[in-house]
Amino acid sequence: MACDRVERDERRGKGISMPNPKRRHSKQRTAKRRSHDFLTTQSLSECPSCHERKLPHHACPKCGTYKGRDVLAVATKEQKS
C-alpha cells in the first residue's frame, strides 16, 4: 500500500495523473450531438383584423385583438394627443 502511494505521488509530479478521455469520440457521435445545435426562425401568422404579422395563438400587439375580440388596450397616436 505504501508502495502504491509513492508511485501515485511520482506520477502526480510528472503531471500524467490528470483525468482524460480514454477514447476520442467518433465523427458520427459528434455529428449526432450537433444535429440539434441550430436556431429556428420564429413562425409568424397574419392578424385577421389588421393583417400585421404576429405570433400564433397570441393577441396582436398592433391592434390588440384576439379571435376578433379587443383584449388589449393598445395606445394609438390619436389617443395620446
Q: Is 44 in the site for Zn ion (CB under 5 A)?
A: no
Provide the residue type at 66 as one letter: Y
Q: Is 59 in the site for Zn ion (CB under 5 A)?
A: no
Q: Is 55 in the site for Zn ion (CB under 5 A)?
A: no
Distance separating alpha carbons of residues 68 and 60, to the nearest angstrom: 10
Q: How far is the CB of 80 from Zn ion (least distance, A)?
A: 19
> Of the two residues 7 and 70, which places its CB atom closer to Zn ion in the complex?
70
Residue 70: partners with Cβ closer than 8 Å, 6 or more residues away: 64
Q: Residue 50 in contact with residue 64, Cβ under 8 Å?
A: no
Contact set with Zn ion (CB under 5 A): 47, 49-50, 52, 60, 62-63
